[in-house]
Amino acid sequence: MANRLARHLSAEIQNKQVQVSMISDTDFHLYQPGLLYVALGLEDPQSVFRKHSRLLVPGVNLIASSAIRIDTDSRSVELQSGENVPFDYLVIATGSHPDLDAIPGFREAAHSFYTYPEALQLRQDLEQFKRGKLLMIVGVPHKCPVAPVEFMLIYENLLRQKNLRQQIELVYTYPLGRLHSLEPCAVWAEQEFADKEIDGEVFFNPETIDPKTKTVYTLEGEEVSYDFLVAIPPHQGAAIIRNSGLGDEDGWLPTDRNTLELLGHQGIYVVGDATNLPISKAGSTAHYESEVVVRNIIREIHGEHPMPLYDGKVFCFIEGGLDKAMHIQFDYNHPPKPSDPTEMVHWFKMAFNQMYWLSVRGMV
Ligand SMILES: Cc1cc2nc3c(=O)[nH]c(=O)nc-3n(C[C@H](O)[C@H](O)[C@H](O)COP(=O)(O)OP(=O)(O)OC[C@H]3O[C@@H](n4cnc5c(N)ncnc54)[C@H](O)[C@@H]3O)c2cc1C
């Protein structure tokens, strides 16, 4: 967003009519999709980071600080230092965050790969796991809806490569009545799991986990034991959203589904996981949304109204193991149709993992 705005408004920035600032509580950018590969020992952990200073184009002013409150009345953002940053236009892209306390016992018992430290820990401990039952539990909503399925399929392939498959039982669970929230993906996953002898259980809503007995208790009344637990907890919006009195009880921001304005707030937009839109929380969603928000902010600067340009477009690669992948594309009006998994799509995904850094610079 910041890079695109700075490129499109370079003349106004040079004339000092416009300033573009990005507030971030980290001084680096994390490529979160890479965490799947880090956790499975397939990617160098250092490769998923780049310093913001290497990614931002000239014209973007980086404010490396945590923001603690958005004041929509005075149109300013308060930083942890106490400083207030005024704005004419604001883009909120504060993401979604796993709620590690949503399931009692999670912190002690479970491994995950949705944050960098968890992915590193999982990588280390999975390497030592040679026999027993690996159980995956999933809470909704969570970002990248396909990552838990991808984890199971890639891990299963790795086990076969290492001749460990017979010693490790794989069980995947999902809280809804099918294996994935998107029906076509659920149908595909069901077939893949059947072929690979991965047990899939539905209507599985973990209530508590007992780390001592290694048991998951569900709202449905089941007690399921495990030897190794991988869990994706349900996500929430960023703390600042609720601290600012914005958003619903889970911290998602009410967003116009086509213009991407924060409802009731002219000149304030929401991008990516932070919205309450009924679409996948995915990097590609943020990418397509950012194109619309850049156009709308430029329109507003030029005295025009925002246009309802976002159609809900999402695009995802889905890894089906170590050597095949497929892709899906969908929007508000068109459901996903999974393509046939091929080796070529897998290699395209691998290439995209590198090309991503060009995309962040706004070059692809
Ligand atoms: C394991 C995994 C695999 C994934 N795979 C894919 C994939 O294959 N394809 C895909 O499209 N998507 C994938 N995703 C999802 C994708 O990474 C996210 O949907 C995307 O990063 C969302 O972008 P965002 O800008 O909304 O939020 P984020 O990228 O999370 O960025 C939010 C930023 O806001 C900052 N922030 C939050 N609060 C504050 C504050 N108070 N002050 C200052 N800064 C703040 C955070 O530090 C963060 O840098 C995956 C995610 C994970 C975890």
Range of the domain at 168: 98-235
Same domain, 90 and 204: no
Residue 91: inside a domain? yes
> 231: CA distance to ligand 1 center in Å?
18
Same domain, 144 and 210: yes
Same domain, 76 and 149: no
Q: How confident is the model at residue 363 (pLDDT cuts 50, 70, 90)?
A: confident
**Cβ of 167 less than 6 Å from ligand 1:** no
Residue 341: inside a domain? no
Q: Which of 289, 313, 337 is the last residue of a domain?
A: 313
> 168: CA distance to ligand 1 center in Å?
32
What region, left, alpha or beta, does residue 264 occupy, with left being phi > 0 and alpha being psi -120 to 50 degrees?
Answer: left
350, pLDDT greater than 80: yes
Q: Which of 235, 258, 276 is the last residue of a domain?
A: 235
> 96: CA distance to ligand 1 center in Å?
7
**Cβ of 293 less than 6 Å from ligand 1:** no
Same domain, 245 and 231: no
**Cβ of 113 less than 6 Å from ligand 1:** yes
Same domain, 56 and 143: no
> 34: CA distance to ligand 1 center in Å?
12
Same domain, 224 and 105: yes
Which is the closest atom of ligand 1 to the Cα of 285? 11
**Cβ of 252 less than 6 Å from ligand 1:** no
Q: What is the pTM for the complete model shown?
A: 0.97
Tens digits of residue pLDDT in 57-87: 999 999 999 999 999 999 999 999 999 999 9
Q: What is the CATH number for 250?
A: 3.50.50.60
**Cβ of 230 less than 6 Å from ligand 1:** no
Same domain, 187 and 136: yes
**Cβ of 153 less than 6 Å from ligand 1:** no
339, pLDDT greater than 90: no
Q: Which of 220, 235, 250 is the last residue of a domain?
A: 235
Same domain, 210 and 281: no
Which is the closest atom of ligand 1 to the Cα of 113? 1
Same domain, 61 and 108: no
Residue 335: inside a domain? no
pLDDT score for 338: 86
The domain total for the chain is 2
Q: How confident is the model at residue 362 (pLDDT cuts 50, 70, 90)?
A: confident
Residue 325: inside a domain? no
Residue 230: inside a domain? yes
**Cβ of 141 less than 6 Å from ligand 1:** no
Q: How confident is the model at residue 128 (pLDDT cuts 50, 70, 90)?
A: very high
Residue 320: inside a domain? no
Same domain, 170 and 76: no
**Cβ of 284 less than 6 Å from ligand 1:** yes
Residue 92: inside a domain? yes
Residue 13: inside a domain? yes
Same domain, 154 and 185: yes
Same domain, 272 and 217: no
**Cβ of 238 less than 6 Å from ligand 1:** yes
Nearest CA to ligand 1 atom 17: 32
Tens digits of residue pLDDT in 132-177: 999 999 999 999 999 999 999 999 999 999 999 999 999 999 999 9
45, pLDDT greater than 80: yes
pLDDT score for 277: 98
Nearest CA to ligand 1 atom 48: 94
pLDDT score for 145: 92
